[in-house]
Structure 1
Amino acid sequence: MYNFQKLSAIIMAGAGILLFPAPMPVQAATMQIEQVQENGTTQGLQKVTAITRVYGSGEQVSEAILEYPQALSPYGVKVSDFTAEGKEITAVFVNDQPELAGIQHPGRYVILQFAQKNSVYDGDLSQKPGHIDKSASKKNQNTDAPRHSNRTLPDLSLQVQQVNRLTAIDGTKYEPTPFVTATDLKEPDIDRFRQYEFADEQVGATIPYNIYLPQNYDPKKKYPLVFFVADASANINAIKTPLFQGNGAIIWASDIEQAKHECIVLAPQYTKDLVEQLGMMTTDENVWTPGLTLVTDLLMNIIDCYSVDKNRIYGTGQSQGGMANIAISDKYPDLFAAQWLVACQWNVEEMAALKDKKLWITVCEGDTKAFPGMNSATKLWESLGSKVMRNKTFWDSHATVKEINAKVKDMASEEAPINYSVFAGGNHMYTWSFAYNIEAIRDWLFQQCKDNDRQH
């Protein structure tokens, strides 16, 4: 077991950035919560473990596991018995194992569940509090993403307090506690992936990447491959950034998704060091860059090294990542079976090369670059004879996933190779905070195959 001071270095090895502010020493915390009161009762909360999940808006603490010396009854513990700093507790469970199970059992572990909200601003960015108006300067309009991202590692610290007396099954009474800091952290979504580096002699650079292999990966079996590239805000020196910045990578490796669509997932990390060495991966000049060569060479290497079904390679990405997908698809027209392009655009004339591709495009009406860019691209494809399905009225991003899935299925039933779904309002970065939650688009992607005689 690691103490909390060592934990951040272990979680993001090599990132050179501390994940948490230094908390009180574990030994001091233990002494504080184990002290015996004069009346013979005990403060029994022994340990707090934070559990994270990755959502469209990024990685957040989703649960807490509290450990007690003696077993508690599920009927004797309530939500109101606890509070967590900065969080809303929505449910409480008791179990005999330090995990959330479908059925409660008497046990030493109390599991708290926290409410999750999409924290990404969903309105007009010009009206966002703290927005600096740059409209007077034309040079600041429609320009590339900044070379240096201000993204920081997520704050996964957690403090929990027991506010009411609890009674164990054996009669032991546990008094309320002061706030107790979590001393352990589990990241099940992120831990599914492994991290490696690819040295590209052609480019003269090395790129780190995250890869997920199916649980029972068999080299004798062929697997679809999902290739995800994050937006430019992820361009920092932390290898796992594509995994925690949003769910565009980790969603494909979830138990539910793998049960339906077993696949390999590749998520390269274009670091700050690579930006300094090679420049941005994509730019508004819409030209092929050394960064695109590096990312493409990595993809080709993974295809060669692992048991990949070359008829079922799927590309997706947001902003920079969508632009990279377009550029790679343009240069290597036979590579992808289908692509999902989120909040991105490219030179419209060059996008003529994608007229016969299988694409699903997702943008928000309030995206001042991707929305007009994809409007022009889809019109061009239609003028070249491509069938494009589009929603006649913009969809509501705040509708339930079930409602959005139904709309997606209606659009997909028209069997157009290119589908263009626009959501009302919103803005650029808000788009991918909800896009990858849409199960029906994920299903559509896996239904596509380069070999038309095969059915999936």
Structure 2
Amino acid sequence: MKSATAITQVYGDGQKFVAVAVEYDTEIDTSKLSASSFKVEGRTVTKVYANSSAAMADQGTDGKYVIVELSPDDKSALLWGGVGSGGGAPGAAQPSASASGSISDSASDSASASASSEPSSSSSSPYVIPGPQVGSTGGPATIKAAKGTVTQAGTVTTSGGTGYSGGDAKVGTSKTVNLIVDDFQQFTYKAAKTGRSLPYNLYIPKDYDRTKSYPLVLFMHDASLITTTVRATLVQGLGAVCWASPEDQAKRPAFVLAPQYPEVVVGDDYKPTALFDTTVDLVKSLTGKYSIDTDRLYSTGQSMGAMMTLGLNIKYPDLFAASWVVAGQWPSAPAAPLAKKNLWVTVSQGDTKAYPGENAIMAVIEKAGTKVSRAVWDGQSSATEFAADVKAMAAKGTTVNYATFKKGSTLAGGLANAHGVEHNSTWPIAYTIEGIREWIFAQRKTN
């Protein structure tokens, strides 16, 4: 064994350490390997095979690397640890229980609970944590390093037939490959109008060709992620990285923009800071710098980011061709412009603010004469079942699709960062649904 490289992957509840690539001095016979050939301290080995590069694969092939896959369900697999408070910001506080024992949160964010808040004296309804304070800031994010020690427990055979005996030989990981996350670049945009700076992550399609035109999708994170750690939005969950996966990019090459907000941009008073409009300025600046099709600009976001998605579509109705709103709401009174937009809205029925908020918006949209397709989904559906659900809704041909998760169904999976709250448990599931991404990219802005 020459060296070992840790491999990480982002899941709905955050980035996890999922494999080790062990480098040998010669090509290894993959057919002679098994899961018992290697051990990784404190981890469950699920699969072992050889490869020609330090990368996971569906099937092994003879090569100088042995890939030791690890269970993402191991407690020590999770690297994402959340954001600490800073500058008076709300941190990653747990939601509070009501007098009735039920737990809820603001559709803006449970993580922004005020320490001085008291539960309601009424035991008939769940206590709702106040939303984030606009302008509050967050401290650095906690992201553990992917470290592991590998032991070759059994004999490893080279493709030439030489056997390397197992024993006590160990090697620690010295490098890390962060799948998809490493494909994003980090920049800072400074708005000419306000002088405000906005850090952001940008995925540029591989083999980018200036003679071609590409769509761009904007992802905006929730208020628990207010931090100075620019790559935090890439490792907290799937909202940004799902669009940049090799599988998605092979079908739908696109730019992916993921700002990292250093402050809470919008809260429950719906009066955003200057970074609300700065986000639009950033999008427009990128369309001038790269070959981006302004008829194929898309927006999406979770919680605070979902609120921003709705608010931006109302204030800038001609900007985005389609939007995906995940667990957020906006006042219904000014929502009429949404009736002319291509929207897919996903929310949990147990979300005490986003669900009634979206119901009110749908009523406004329908009053304006736009038909809304509605469906109730099981949050524990398989990928195949979700694909069928999306296909059934898309077949109706409506411009507004409203898919709600059955109450309680998003909590059954025990997501690490959901804190037992149906608001927070919505987006780890929603962004796994590939068919909605396909529907979003099928939309075009009509002039």
Q: Which residue of 2 aligns with 1:173?
A: 165
- Greater Rg over alpha carbons, structure: 1
**In structure 1, what is the Cα distance between the partners aligned to 2:96 and 2:335?**
28
Residue of structure 2 aligned with 1:385, choices 362, 369, 378? 369
Q: Which residue of 1 aligns with 2:44?
A: 88
Q: Which residue of 2 aligns with 1:14?
A: none
SS at match of 1:301: helix
Residue of structure 2 aligned with 1:307, choices 273, 288, 291? 291
Alignment pair present for 1:143 and 2:99: no
Query: Contact 1:151–1:234 at 8 Å: present in 2 too?
Result: no
Q: Which residue of 2 aligns with 1:56?
A: 12
Q: Which residue of 2 aligns with 1:350?
A: 334
Query: Contact 1:194–1:212 at 8 Å: present in 2 too?
Result: yes
**In structure 2, what is the Cα distance between the partners aligned to 1:307 and 1:137?**
57
Alignment pair present for 1:285 and 2:274: no
Q: Which residue of 2 aligns with 1:400?
A: 382
Query: Which 5+ residue runs of structure 2 have no aligned equivalent?
Result: 81-94, 104-112, 411-421
The amino acid that maps onto 1:160 is: T
The CA deviation at 1:255 is: 1.6
Residue of structure 2 aligned with 1:73, choices 17, 20, 29? 29
Query: Contact 2:38–2:154 at 8 Å: present in 1 too?
Result: no
The CA deviation at 1:385 is: 1.7
The amino acid that maps onto 2:277 is: T
CA shift in 2, pair 1:354/1:171, >3 Å: closer
SS at match of 2:143: coil
**In structure 1, what is the Cα distance between the partners aligned to 2:275 and 2:55?**
42
**In structure 2, what is the Cα distance between the partners aligned to 1:302 and 1:77?**
48
Mapping 1:429-440, distance limit 5 Å = 429-440=424-435
SS at match of 1:405: helix
Query: Contact 2:36–2:154 at 8 Å: present in 1 too?
Result: no
**In structure 1, what is the Cα distance between the partners aligned to 2:202 and 2:118?**
39
**In structure 2, what is the Cα distance between the partners aligned to 1:66 and 1:451?**
52
SS at match of 1:99: coil
**In structure 2, what is the Cα distance between the partners aligned to 1:398 and 1:172?**
45
CA shift in 2, pair 1:337/1:183, >3 Å: same
Query: Contact 1:51–1:62 at 8 Å: present in 2 too?
Result: yes
Q: Deviations over 1:347-381 (max 9, x none)?
A: 11122221221100001122121111111111222
Between 159-168 and 425-434, report the one with greater CA deviation.
159-168
Q: Which residue of 1 aligns with 2:415?
A: none
CA shift in 2, pair 1:117/1:137, >3 Å: farther
Residue of structure 2 aligned with 1:373, choices 348, 357, 360? 357
CA shift in 2, pair 1:260/1:107, >3 Å: closer
**In structure 1, what is the Cα distance between the partners aligned to 2:209 and 2:144?**
37
Query: Contact 1:84–1:158 at 8 Å: present in 2 too?
Result: no
Q: Which residue of 1 aligns with 2:233?
A: 242
The CA deviation at 1:226 is: 0.6
Query: By percentage of residues, which structure has more helix?
Result: 1
**In structure 1, what is the Cα distance between the partners aligned to 2:349 and 2:258?**
27
SS at match of 1:174: coil
Query: Contact 2:347–2:403 at 8 Å: present in 1 too?
Result: yes
Q: Which residue of 2 aligns with 1:188?
A: 179
**In structure 2, what is the Cα distance between the partners aligned to 1:164 and 1:88?**
14
Q: Which residue of 2 aligns with 1:409?
A: 391
Alignment pair present for 1:159 and 2:143: no
The amino acid that maps onto 1:423 is: F
Alignment pair present for 1:259 and 2:250: yes
SS at match of 1:399: coil
CA shift in 2, pair 1:164/1:84, >3 Å: closer
Q: Which residue of 1 aligns with 2:60?
A: 104
The amino acid that maps onto 1:434 is: I
SS at match of 2:364: helix
C-alpha root-mean-square deviation of aligned residues, in Å?
Answer: 2.7
Query: Contact 1:226–1:266 at 8 Å: present in 2 too?
Result: yes
TM-score by length of 2: 0.81
The CA deviation at 1:382 is: 1.5
Q: Deviations over 1:377-398 (max 9, x none)?
A: 112221222211111xx31111
SS at match of 1:152: strand
Query: Which 5+ residue runs of structure 1 have no aligned equivalent?
Result: 1-44
The amino acid that maps onto 1:109 is: Y
**In structure 1, what is the Cα distance between the partners aligned to 2:319 and 2:312?**
8
**In structure 2, what is the Cα distance between the partners aligned to 1:375 and 1:403?**
25
Alignment pair present for 1:339 and 2:326: no
CA shift in 2, pair 1:94/1:422, >3 Å: same
The CA deviation at 1:134 is: 4.4
Residue of structure 2 aligned with 1:323, choices 298, 307, 318? 307
Between 396-405 and 66-75, report the one with greater CA deviation.
66-75
**In structure 2, what is the Cα distance between the partners aligned to 1:367 and 1:86?**
37
Query: Contact 1:70–1:170 at 8 Å: present in 2 too?
Result: no
Query: Contact 1:288–1:327 at 8 Å: present in 2 too?
Result: no
The CA deviation at 1:171 is: 3.5
The CA deviation at 1:233 is: 1.8
**In structure 2, what is the Cα distance between the partners aligned to 1:109 and 1:174?**
16
Residue of structure 1 aligned with 2:217, choices 213, 217, 226? 226
**In structure 1, what is the Cα distance between the partners aligned to 2:355 and 2:252?**
30
**In structure 1, what is the Cα distance between the partners aligned to 2:255 and 2:346?**
23
**In structure 1, what is the Cα distance between the partners aligned to 2:62 and 2:443?**
48
The amino acid that maps onto 2:13 is: S
**In structure 1, what is the Cα distance between the partners aligned to 2:282 and 2:52?**
45
SS at match of 1:182: strand
Q: Deviations over 1:42-65 (max 9, x none)?
A: xxx432210111222221122210
TM-score by length of 1: 0.79
State the aligned residue count: 392
Query: Contact 1:150–1:233 at 8 Å: present in 2 too?
Result: no
**In structure 1, what is the Cα distance between the partners aligned to 2:11 and 2:163?**
40
Query: Contact 2:139–2:228 at 8 Å: present in 1 too?
Result: no
**In structure 2, what is the Cα distance between the partners aligned to 1:382 and 1:64?**
52
SS at match of 2:310: helix
